Each structure stands twice: as C-alpha cells, then as structure tokens.
C-alpha cells in the first residue's frame, strides 16, 4: 500500500472549500460514499483551476475544460457524515495538454488524510473536442504549482501507473 503525506504537510497544498459531509453524501455504513470522494476532489479542482482561466467560467463559455483521463484512488481513513473535509491538490507535472496531479482528502475534524486520487487529466478544446495544449496563463500557473510542490520537503508516493 502506498503511504500518504501527513495532515500537516497536505493542508499546505492549494485546496478547495471546506465541507461538512452532508447526510446525502453518506451511505448505509454512515460514512462518506466512495462516489462522493470523487465529487469532492472534482469540486476542489474546479475551484482551484478557476483562478487560472480553466474553470467553470471557461467551460460555460464553451471554451474548454479539464477532462479526467485516468485515476487511481486510495482510501486510508473513514470519513463520517458531518465531519469537515476538503481536497488539496499537488501538481506533479504538466506537458502540453496533459496534467498529472494528486489530490488529498483531508478530514479536518480528525486531523487526518483520509485518501487520495492520483489523476492524469487533459485540457480539451470544446471547439474540436480534442486534447489541446493548456492556455498560456493556465500552463504558467500549473508549472509554478508543480515547481512549488517539487521544492517541498516531502514527495508523494505515486502509483506508478500514471506517467507523463
């Protein structure tokens, strides 16, 4: 099993808004349903990417969007309905239209990293419906986040199944 960073390390990464897990995100076990982990990871990326010109505004305007191409999910700690969580994103690398990231689900109620989603994503032009290099502003912002992450004193343990 891959190890995850500490809560104190992961909380410093760019993150989405905090959310108290609502009852409708739960399942019959009383904890966060697996399908909603992905929703929380996804919502955080929309929020973070919006500041780079590749978010909801651009998608709604018919310009383009970030598409999921491959994902590797890890679950380490249970998250209960009502607990406060957020997703924090570490950019690994970007090349052309492709982006390699790891998102961490933080449980602020318990001070734990509950899980992760390593992903290969791509910028898709809505005009061509094909992978297209990231817009310059976004490429620069993503590259800066990758450089900041590479300088951190810890490195993520990656799955090995996603490479650029």
* pLDDT one-digit tens code per residue, 70-113: 999 999 999 999 999 999 999 999 999 999 999 999 999 999 99
- Residue whose token pair is 């992760």: 116
pLDDT band at 1 (very low <50, low <70, confident <90, very high): confident
- What is this structure's pTM? 0.96
Evaluate whether 100 touches 94 at the Cβ level (below 8 Å).
Answer: yes
* Alpha carbon distance 122, 71 (integer Å): 12
Distance CA 131, CA 125 (A): 6
CB of 101 within 8 A of CB of 92? Answer: yes
14-37 tens-digit pLDDT: 999 999 999 999 999 999 999 999
Identify the DSSP state of 127.
T
Q: Give pLDDT tens digits for 104-154.
A: 999 999 999 999 999 999 999 999 999 999 999 999 999 999 999 999 999
Domains of the chain from N-terminus onward = 7-150 (3.10.129.10)
The whole-number pLDDT of residue 141 equals 99
Residues contacting 124, CB < 8 A, separation 6+: 64, 65, 66, 67, 97, 130, 131, 132
Cα–Cα distance measured from residue 84 to residue 22, given in angstroms and rounded to the nearest whole number: 10
Measured between alpha carbons, how far is 50 from 42 in angstroms, rounded to an integer?
A: 12
């Amino acid at each position: 099993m891959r190890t995850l960073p500490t809560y104190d390390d992961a909380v410093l990464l760019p993150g989405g808004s905090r959310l108290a897990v609502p009852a409708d995100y739960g399942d019959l076990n009383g904890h966060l349903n697996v399908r909603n982990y992905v929703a929380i990871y996804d919502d955080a990326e929309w929020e973070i990417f919006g500041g780079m010109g590749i978010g909801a505004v651009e998608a709604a305007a018919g310009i383009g969007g970030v598409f999921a191409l491959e994902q590797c999910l890890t679950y380490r700690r249970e998250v209960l309905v009502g607990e406060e969580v957020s997703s924090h994103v570490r950019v690994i690398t970007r090349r052309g239209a492709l982006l390699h990231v790891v998102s961490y689900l933080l449980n602020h109620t318990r001070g734990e990293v509950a899980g992760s989603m390593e992903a290969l994503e791509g910028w898709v032009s809505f005009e061509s419906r094909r992978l297209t290099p990231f817009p310059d502003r976004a490429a620069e912002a993503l590259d800066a986040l990758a450089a900041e992450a590479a300088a951190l004193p810890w490195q993520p343990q990656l799955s090995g199944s996603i490479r650029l």
